[in-house]
Amino acid sequence: MDQYAVVGNPIAHSKSPSIHTYFAEQTQQTLTYSTLLGDDIEFENQIRAFLASDGKGLNVTLPFKERAYAMCDVLSKRAEQAGAVNTIVMSENGDLFGDNTDGIGMVRDMIDNHGQTLKGKRVLVLGAGGAVRGVLEPILSEQPKSVTIANRTVEKAHVLARHFECLASTFEDLEGAFDIIINGTSASLSGRLPPLKDELVGEQTWCYDMMYGADRTVFLAWAHQRGANGADGLGMLVGQAAEAFYLWRNVRPETASLVALMRKQMEDC
């Protein structure tokens, strides 16, 4: 049977096995999907050993995405741009193909599940860490009017802005309303918000928080108080998995029903 796994450390609480098992049942694919506790020294050998013994593909999570990027023989454009790999596919000739599906997972979630388009929009991205680096190429491929990256450490925003040919700013220097604001900072994890001016939210603004949870995130609460709708990153998590599944099985699973199911499970906990 074709085998897949997610490798990371820690890994015990990963939602990927249940997500991929759901997709396999939905699309009537026969496969197994397990977790692999990544070892700091043996990581590359673990990947090769898994793929040598009937493993067809892997998801890679923290803290190994950059090491997966370094060991792949062939990279997708979005993995190259992200500098990180979250999906490995074993090619027929034995080459390791590395992709990064985090960004396209988020963009597909926005478009397919929330009816948002990025084309022609003024987009603000908060944060300049690994997650933001991974989403910029898929955002730019949707041809927004402009993309501004704002970060606490503004030098990091400038580095990304130079690489992706977009704009950089401090939070304080941001001006006017944006059509879409994406929070890719980890501030929400500790219940904090970057210092955002009220004027960033206009009548049409829609907000996305990459973080997700049972309760509304502080960023989405901030947006809601100013009259803006939005969504959290649960659909991004499911969306990146769906793109990986598509790469491996050439079948694209439907994601909305799983997002709804996981949302209910989180709320019931």
The whole-angstrom separation of Cα 186 and Cα 131 is: 10
Ligand-binding annotation for 14, yes or no, is yes
- Residue 138 binds to ligand NDP (criterion: CB under 6 A): no
- Residue 131 binds to ligand NDP (criterion: CB under 6 A): yes
Nearest CB to ligand NDP, comparing residues 45 and 153: 153
- Both tokens of 177, joined, read 């309303």
Question: What's the burial of 26, exposed, middle or buried (CB within 10 Å: 0-12/13-18/19+)?
Answer: middle
Ligand-binding annotation for 210, yes or no, is yes
One of 91, 153, 225, 257 touching ligand NDP (CB under 6 A) = 153
Please state the φ and ψ torsions of residue 171, each to the nearest 5 degrees.
-65, -40
Whether 224 contacts 203, CB under 8 Å:
no
Residue 232 Cβ, how far from ligand NDP at the closest point, in Å?
A: 8
- Residue 158 binds to ligand NDP (criterion: CB under 6 A): no
Ligand-binding annotation for 129, yes or no, is yes
Please state the φ and ψ torsions of residue 182, each to the nearest 5 degrees.
-115, 120
Whether 123 contacts 138, CB under 8 Å:
no
Tell me, residue by residue from 162 to 191, as one string, x for binding to ligand NDP by CB under 6 A and - for no binding: ----------------------xxxxxx--
Nearest CB to ligand NDP, comparing residues 90 and 219: 219
How many residues sit in the footprint of ligand NDP (CB under 6 A)? 26
With CB under 6 A as the contact rule, which of the stretches 19-27, 196-204, 232-240, 259-267 interacts with ligand NDP?
232-240
Residue 184 Cβ, how far from ligand NDP at the closest point, in Å?
A: 5
Nearest CB to ligand NDP, comparing residues 211 and 228: 211
In this structure, the number of other CB atoms found within 10 A of the CB of residue 210 comes to 25
Ligand-binding annotation for 125, yes or no, is no
Length of the chain: 269
Give 171-214 as a 3 state SS string: CCCCCCCEEEEEECCCHHHHCCCCCCCHHHEEEEEEEEECCCCC
- Residue 127 binds to ligand NDP (criterion: CB under 6 A): yes
Active site residues: 65
Site for ligand NDP in 26-55 (CB under 6 A): none
Ligand-binding annotation for 192, yes or no, is no
CA distances from 213 to 45, 57, 147, 209 (A): 35, 28, 26, 10
- Residue 233 binds to ligand NDP (criterion: CB under 6 A): yes
Residue 82 Cβ, how far from ligand NDP at the closest point, in Å?
A: 11
- Residue 102 binds to ligand NDP (criterion: CB under 6 A): yes
Contacting residues for 43 by C-beta, under 8 A, at least 6 apart: 7, 64, 67
Alpha helices in the chain (DSSP H): 16-27, 43-52, 65-71, 77-82, 102-108, 114, 130-141, 154-164, 218-225, 234-249, 256-268
- Point out the annotated binding site for shikimate: 14-16, 61, 86, 102, 212, 240
- Point out the annotated binding site for NADP(+): 127-131, 151-156, 210, 233
Binding site for ligand NDP (CB under 6 A): 102, 127-132, 151-153, 156, 184-189, 192, 194, 210-212, 233, 236-237, 240
